[in-house]
Amino acid sequence: MCGIAGVVGAYKETQLDAMLACQYHRGPDATGKYFDLDFSALGHNRLAIIDLSVESNQPFKDNSGRYVVVFNGEIYNYIEIKAELESQYDFKTKSDTEVLLAAYIVYGAKCLQKFNGMFAFAIWDNQEKKLFAARDRFGVKPFYYSLSNNVFYFSSEIKALHAAGIIKEPNEKVWASYFAFGSYGMPDETFWVDIVQLPGGHFLEFENKKVTIKKWYFFEEEVAKQPKNLTFEQAKKQYVVLLKDSIRLRFRADVSVGFNVSGGLDSSVLLAMVNLQEDNSKINGYTFYTNNLDYDELPWVEKMISQTQNPLTKVLLQADEVPTLMQKMQYQQDEPFGGIPTLAYAKIFEQARRDEVLVLIDGQGMDEQWAGYDYYNQDNEATIQGVQDSPYKTNILSDSFLAKAVKPLYPKPFKDDILNKQYRDLFYTKIPRALRFNDRISMTYSTELREPFLDYRLVEFAFSLPLDYKIKNGISKFILREIASEYFVNDLVFAPKRPLQTPQREWLAFDLQEWVSQCFIELERLDYAKWFNKESLHKELKKYFDGNIQSSFHIWQCISFYEMLKIKG
């Protein structure tokens, strides 16, 4: 897990230095640079996870010196791919980086189909003077870029592009859509002018001052290839085989590996599978809590852990930590993020780094593949669990700003409505934003996060199964619960999903009222205050402080907006 950066075209070395300095937290183990005369400059911040030797530092050249790669992520099946390539490439290291580069040299863009992993990388061909870059199927690892005056800039984080000289101006259409519809942008959009992202499952080529983008992962086609007419037991057995292999692959590391655990079903399955690994007694679990019994999942976590006896580190987040931690995380995120649960989650990675546990495994992705959210069975377009009223308060926006909002329309490639909602969440809403939140908070503390449930084999297989394998008698994620019941008691396995994990609503309304009030006051002093209807803004804040706290999303939106834009104010 690392940070990548580069400039193709007329560049100054100071630009690359500034980009790498911004992303130092992503890879404190080594910083490297490569220059091809006046054609390109590539940079890399390394967090050493596989093959810790200096020979695997990046930018990494192939044996001929023609190709140079900067790579962020992990190719989990690199050992198997390496075995295929050994007769065609002379390997010098034990790294997955060299395997990635060799696979590209041998297979070209088709190498992407062979990779099981999370990745964003760029390969410079110094003979053809061409850049090839790609992102993994679900976009676990980030890739941002900007084309300015025929010069192509790319990086792992938006702040690095701003450091290189790309103008820092908010994208009003994306911001307006965020406030009006809760949208975080389409797969290629960001909240900033002239900065876009390469969508997951796509690659790009930059040659002769021209960017060409192509899709390489066709999810719908892969789902259609899955086995048909499996019985419930056959499907369950096959999924367990895939799940065990996914977790086995994600334990490949030359550093300590731990895992995140909550009180939910997904964590119970993860916990069970983790303990099937060899020497599981040393695998540390991490969880957060807030000392609020209405929200904390700690009792459930401790009950699960008592059955497996894993070491458990409990990380406390308190209300008075929120303002300072919010400022730090907002800087790291570069765009709006989810709220106080993200801050609580960030503290886990901070603690893991202190414990010298550099890789954490998480349970992201189960709800989307197994139709686990309550709104999947509702006739609406909701994307937020456990909320009845709309969390979006368009009345706080000025008419001119609201007019710039565009309601997002998502593809519906499947005949079934629930499948289309799952598809939307996988590629457009839930998963993209969660992956961005989680990448930034893990990287803030120079740790790596791995998502075994987002192994493409699992997602494609689960997606293809009949709906009654997923939801049965009103019980969601049914087949997953059947798997978990073999390891844990039923009151854990069949507990309902808890949509809220922190007392964000109460903290913002009461404990942090003074801080929230000050953020709203300062917001009105920004250059961008004209985006808001100040009278309605005051009314909504007063209603919230007076006890109307069914949803806190609009309050958090305003705080996030202020923290991100105050430098421009």
Domain residue limits, the chain:
2-217, 221-493, 504-568
Does residue 209 register a pLDDT over 60? yes
The model's confidence at residue 566, banded by pLDDT at 50, 70 and 90, is confident
- From 272, 426, 418, 286, select the one nearest 350 (Cα to Cα): 286
Does residue 286 register a pLDDT over 50? yes
Rg (CA), the chain: 23
pLDDT tens-digit series, residues 103-156: 999 999 999 999 999 999 999 999 999 999 999 999 999 999 999 999 999 999
pLDDT tens-digit series, residues 354-370: 999 999 999 999 999 99
Beta carbons of 431 and 425 less than 8 angstroms apart: yes
Cα-based angle 73, 131, 78 (whole degrees, multiple of 5)? 30
The model's confidence at residue 569, banded by pLDDT at 50, 70 and 90, is very low
Mean pLDDT for the stretch of residues 212-224: 98
pLDDT score for 178? 97
pLDDT tens-digit series, residues 509-553: 999 999 999 999 999 999 999 999 999 999 999 999 999 999 999
546 assigned binding-site residue: no
User: 134 - beta bridge partners?
Assistant: 121, 203
Q: Which residue has the tokens 């790609």?
A: 134
Does residue 493 register a pLDDT over 70? no
Per-residue CA distances from 257 to 135, 368, 510 (Å): 24, 25, 38
Does residue 383 register a pLDDT over 60? yes
The model's confidence at residue 473, banded by pLDDT at 50, 70 and 90, is confident
Give the CATH class of 221-493. alpha beta
Please count the other Cβ atoms lying within 10 Å of the Cβ belonging to residue 449: 23
Mean pLDDT for the stretch of residues 100-104: 98
pLDDT tens-digit series, residues 445-459: 999 999 999 999 999
pLDDT score for 485? 87
How many residues would you count in the chain? 569
Does residue 321 register a pLDDT over 80? yes
Instruction: Please give the share of the chain, as a percent, with pLDDT higher than 90.
Output: 83
Residues with active-site annotation: 2
3-class DSSP string for 411-429: CCCCCCHHHHHHHHHHHCC
Cα-based angle 398, 521, 395 (whole degrees, multiple of 5)? 25
Beta carbons of 219 and 460 less than 8 angstroms apart: yes
Which has the minimum average pLDDT: 87-101, 291-305, 438-452, 491-505?
491-505
pLDDT score for 280? 57
The secondary structure of residue 508, as a DSSP letter, is I
Q: Which pTM was predicted?
A: 0.96
Average pLDDT score, the chain: 93
pLDDT score for 226? 97
DSSP 512-568: THHHHHHHHHHHTTSGGGGGB-HHHHHHHHHHHHTT--S--HHHHHHHHHHHHHGGG
pLDDT score for 499? 62
pLDDT score for 495? 60
Please state the CATH superfamily assignment of the domain spanning residues 2-217 in this structure: Aminohydrolase, N-terminal nucleophile (Ntn) domain (3.60.20.10)
Cα–Cα distance between 521 and 136 in angstroms, integer? 42
**72 by DSSP, 3-state: which?**
strand
**247 by DSSP, 3-state: which?**
helix
